[in-house]
Amino acid sequence: MQTRVARLHGVKDIRVETQELVAPGPGEVLLTMAAGGICGSDLHYYQDGGFGPVRVREPIICGHEASGHIAALGAGVSGLAIGQLVAVNPSQPCGHCQFCLKGQPIHCLEMRFMGSAMRLPHEQGMFRDRLVVPAKQCATFSDATSPAEAACTEPLAVCLHAVAQAGDLTGAKVLVTGAGPIGLLTIAAARHAGAGTIVATDLTDAALERAPAMGADRTINVAKDTEALLPYQENKGYFDVIFDCSAAAPALRTAFACVRPRGTIVQVGVTGDITIPLNALVGKEILWRGSQRFHDEFAIAAGLISSRGIDVRPIISHSFPLGEAKAAFEQAGDRSAACKVQLTFSAD
């Protein structure tokens, strides 16, 4: 049995290749893949060869947010059926290191995360026509759910975890900086969590156009309206919680100015080292929290997508067949037109 894969060999060098695939073993399932989203980290690998200290050091199959249909069940698998639509959880903590034993599997010392270049050898990803995975990594959906929606489970899980970092959002005044796919899903997750007022900012109108459909009350293009956030800085700040999904230094400086004393800034976006306004952090007693991936939130995200408790369809902008992977990555890099770009797969 063979499968096509989208393998990145270097900067902007992604090739569709064929490789052998073994049948599912005990506790495993064979999937015919259906849809897979290009994440920001995939794009960093493609455009820059990595981000921060994470570098692509050998060929890697990209993709960690994907869905497919069950084609075969390995021995001992129960609770799943042939033809069922599933999303694959790319996170595979070891279960026995000190952090796993403390109930913090996100920080597993031996984490295997599909499509990630953090370890060497790299963990291979999901951009392929067929995939064998442990059955326990699969989350199921209602018959009404499309593969494109199911493939948004992983990024929504990231955002649900970020929102959980902020505590109770009931009635909260929220700012989300950066309206890419993660920013938009954070808006939706914050709205679902009971946020009162949600303001979204970005540098492009194209990104902000989707924000109201995800739950934003106001959008601000900070490249065009450079003073629009000044009123939110008065009286030591307006927002109870700010989710920074951009990791841009100007956005972070603005976040520290706009958050109220003892408010919370959740850092969702990642970048290299940057300078922060330490006096504001101390003087306003701001809680600045990082947010890393997810754990239990994957199953929660799948349930919300399946029930359309959160509708992810507005973020999906483009779809390309696997054979056009390079065009898909180029499209994903054009923020003036693209939001969530997905690949589609065929096992025929």
CB 147 within 8 A of CB 22: no
- pLDDT tens track of the chain, all 348 residues? 899 999 999 999 999 999 999 999 999 999 999 999 999 999 999 999 998 888 999 999 999 999 999 999 999 999 999 999 999 999 999 999 999 999 999 999 999 999 999 999 999 999 999 999 999 999 999 999 999 999 999 999 999 999 999 999 999 999 999 999 999 999 999 999 999 999 999 999 999 999 999 999 999 999 999 999 999 999 999 999 999 999 899 999 999 999 999 999 999 998 778 888 999 999 999 999 999 999 899 999 999 999 999 999 999 999 999 999 999 999 999 988 899 999 999 866
The DSSP secondary-structure symbol of 129 reads S
Query: What pLDDT, on the 0 to 100 scale, is given for residue 335?
Result: 86
Please confirm whether the linkage preceding 121 is cis (ω < 30° from 0): yes
Query: What pLDDT, on the 0 to 100 scale, is given for residue 347?
Result: 67
Beta-bridge partner residues of 287: 264
Q: Find the DSSP H helices in 22-166.
A: 40-48, 98-101, 147-150, 153-165
CB atoms within 10 A of CB 4: 20
What DSSP string runs through 267-308? Answer: E-S--S-----HHHHHHTT-EEEE----STHHHHHHHHHHHT
CB 320 within 8 A of CB 314: no
Coil, strand, or helix at residue 27? Answer: coil
Longest dimension (CA), the chain: 65
Q: State the pTM of this model.
A: 0.95
Q: What tokens does 66 get?
A: 């994907």
Q: Name 317's Cβ contacts closer than 8 Å, sequence gap at least 6.
A: 337, 338, 339, 340, 341
Q: How far is CA 40 from the centre of its chain?
A: 8
Domains and CATH numbers, the chain: 2-152+312-344 (3.90.180.10), 160-290 (3.40.50.720)
Query: What pLDDT, on the 0 to 100 scale, is given for residue 348?
Result: 64
Nearest to 43 by CA among 14, 68, 66: 14
- Polymer length of the chain: 348
Nearest to 295 by CA among 28, 35, 90: 90
Q: What tokens does 76 get?
A: 């001992």
d(CA 269, CA 155): 12
d(CA 347, CA 4): 8
